[in-house]
Amino acid sequence: MSAIAVSPEAAPDVTADYVTRVQIDRSCRQTVLGYYASAVAWLLIGSLAALITSVKMHHPEFLGNYEWITFGRIRPVHLNTVVYGWSSMVGIGTTLWLEARLCKVRLPHRALLPATVIIWNAGVVWGVYEVLAGHSTGVEWLEFPPQVLGIFGFVLLVLFWVSLKMFNQRHVHHTYVSQWYLFGSVVWFPILYSAAILLPTTGMVGGAAWATTNWWYAHNVLGLYVTPMGLATIYYLIPKVTGKPIYSYHLSLLGFWANALFYSWIGTHHLVGGPLPAWIITLGIVGSIMMFVPVTTVAINHHMTMIGKFHMLKTSPTLRFVVFGAVSYTAVSYQGSLEALRSVSHVAHFTHYTIAHAHLGMYSFYTMTMFGAMYYIVPRLTRNEWSSVPLIKIHFWTTSLGVLAYFCALSWAGWYEGEMMNNPLIPFIKIVDYTKPYLVARSLSGSFMTIGHIAFAILVFRILRSSDVSMIGPTLFTSKRGMMRWRRKEA
């Protein structure tokens, strides 16, 4: 697609940085495409695992004879493939490309970096095998064997080194906001990941303190690893596609540092009512509420940048996915802040409501943003165009409507489930019966999203495989492939 193209308001920058950009994109090509292709493969595997899990929620006998895909194994496989397979790999690929672009340097270590794709994949494959074989650690978000730390940790250190190197050699004076977020995630995640594995395995924390460490990790993965990568992408692509500068440097600063300051507190809001000293949970709640600061700031910044450019959502797939992600970021963050309150957590926690919230964050915000990023970046790396407008349309509408239906069904079911579970006079089986139709709705909306993923995988497969020189110009929503309506309109 390449969203951008020429809009009536702005002319493309065809001379100044063109050569630099071509060189940078060429240096990124192998590594980033490797990460992207693997990510899409893990997305398909993760979707399959998700569907099996989801069907088992309302038809427990489904595939019940296969020990390897019993609920307790296939559910962590879904979580870990989408987190460490899809989200991490698409995020790392985007991070490397964005950093190279923002520093205006070519990607260093071009022999080592493609190897990290294989190494990271090997880590995920090994972890998935162990979980399927029944050797899960049973610790949420860290079901893979602790030894995987050696594999992921190595790649993360390489990433840190490469990011540092590019930043030191940068050919720009001004450090753009995306760069801060990317650097944040590259620094924070290795610390989080190694601490969450090393503290319990060395016996430094146990019992309730282990649970605290684990939720500290599991929530910081979202806020200090996934969110920075997603926001960096949004901060880069909205101005890049619309041609407008980001609204306010001051708001960017405030949003970044407030996120850095408050996010690492908030994991303990998952332990409301748990056996922890009251102040730990109270600080978790306060941190969650204070997240209104960065979220509101980022929301204003993105919205004010988009103002006057909303018509481009009709044409640009990148922009449409990315803005969908940006709006979801605001929604999921406000919802998350409120969910942390003791009174809300009392009802909503340990129900499907939390699951809906998690998917609003990981899917509606992060995954949709990354789809947008891939729509923008892959044509630059392959120097091909996306082959089919209808497939992009199918991808957008199935995933966006799918995740909205998913969110609405599970939020509704989850809230009433929580209210009923707080009433001891309602037998548990009645609550299960009540949620069943909504669980079926989840399977249906999940199937919808999976159809979108398959359409996307076909698009990615084609653009990687073939080089159709007859395709000239970007693939936009409004144009049939090969017919550039937006240009005729201009003429």
Check if the beta carbon of residue 477 is closer than 8 Å to that of residue 314.
Answer: yes
Q: Which two tokens stand for residue 470?
A: 């007859």
Name the minimum Å distance from CB 21 to other proteins. 5
Interactions with other proteins, residue window 249-308 (CB under 8 A):
249-252, 254, 275-279, 281-283, 285-286, 289-290, 292-293, 296-297, 300, 304-305, 308
Name the minimum Å distance from CB 472 to other proteins. 6
Considering the rule CB under 8 A, would residue 313 count as an interface residue with other proteins? no
Q: How far apart are CA 33 and CA 107, in angstroms?
A: 13
Name the minimum Å distance from CB 348 to other proteins. 18
Interactions with other proteins, residue window 61-120 (CB under 8 A):
101-102, 104
- Closest to other proteins by CB, 194 or 296: 296
Considering the rule CB under 8 A, would residue 380 count as an interface residue with other proteins? yes
Report the residue from 64, 118, 138, 342 that binds other proteins according to the rule CB under 8 A: 342
Report the residue from 427, 432, 468, 482 that binds other proteins according to the rule CB under 8 A: 427
Q: Which two tokens stand for residue 382?
A: 């392959």
Considering the rule CB under 8 A, would residue 17 count as an interface residue with other proteins? yes
> Which residues are bridge partners to 7 per DSSP?
10
- Closest to other proteins by CB, 387 or 398: 387
Which phi and psi angles does 7 have, rounded to 5°?
A: -105, 160
- 261's CB contacts (< 8 A; 6+ apart) are none
Interactions with other proteins, residue window 23-42 (CB under 8 A):
25
Considering the rule CB under 8 A, would residue 473 count as an interface residue with other proteins? yes
Considering the rule CB under 8 A, would residue 11 count as an interface residue with other proteins? yes
- Closest to other proteins by CB, 115 or 300: 300
The DSSP code sequence of 224-244 is IIIHHHHHHHHHHHHHHHH-P
Interactions with other proteins, residue window 164-183 (CB under 8 A):
171-174, 176-178
- Which region, judged by CB under 8 A, interacts with other proteins, from 50-58, 138-146, 156-164, 423-431? 423-431
Q: How far apart are CA 25 and CA 468, in angstroms?
A: 19
Q: How far apart are CA 47 and CA 77, in angstroms?
A: 10
Report the residue from 34, 91, 123, 239 that binds other proteins according to the rule CB under 8 A: 239
Name the minimum Å distance from CB 300 to other proteins. 7
Q: How many residues does the chain have?
A: 491
Chain-centroid distance of CA 66 in Å reads 31
Name the minimum Å distance from CB 425 to other proteins. 5
Q: How far apart are CA 304 and CA 298, in angstroms?
A: 10
Considering the rule CB under 8 A, would residue 379 count as an interface residue with other proteins? yes
Q: How many residues bind other proteins (CB under 8 A)?
A: 77
- Which region, judged by CB under 8 A, interacts with other proteins, from 216-224, 364-372, 422-430, 449-457? 422-430
> Which residues are bridge partners to 10 per DSSP?
7
Q: Which two tokens stand for residue 53?
A: 């899990």
Considering the rule CB under 8 A, would residue 424 count as an interface residue with other proteins? yes
Considering the rule CB under 8 A, would residue 231 count as an interface residue with other proteins? no
Considering the rule CB under 8 A, would residue 21 count as an interface residue with other proteins? yes
Q: How far apart are CA 166 and CA 172, in angstroms?
A: 11
Check if the beta carbon of residue 319 is closer than 8 Å to that of residue 372.
Answer: yes
Considering the rule CB under 8 A, would residue 44 count as an interface residue with other proteins? no
- Closest to other proteins by CB, 135 or 462: 462
- Closest to other proteins by CB, 85 or 418: 418
Considering the rule CB under 8 A, would residue 207 count as an interface residue with other proteins? no
Considering the rule CB under 8 A, would residue 472 count as an interface residue with other proteins? yes
Considering the rule CB under 8 A, would residue 388 count as an interface residue with other proteins? no
User: What are the CB-based long-range contacts (under 8 Å, 24+) for 358-363?
Assistant: 359/403, 359/406, 359/407, 359/410, 360/328, 360/331, 360/332, 360/335, 360/403, 360/407, 361/222, 361/226, 361/328, 361/332, 361/336, 362/82, 362/83, 362/87, 362/222, 362/226, 363/399, 363/403, 363/406, 363/449
Q: How far apart are CA 141 and CA 479, in angstroms?
A: 42
Name the minimum Å distance from CB 197 to other proteins. 25
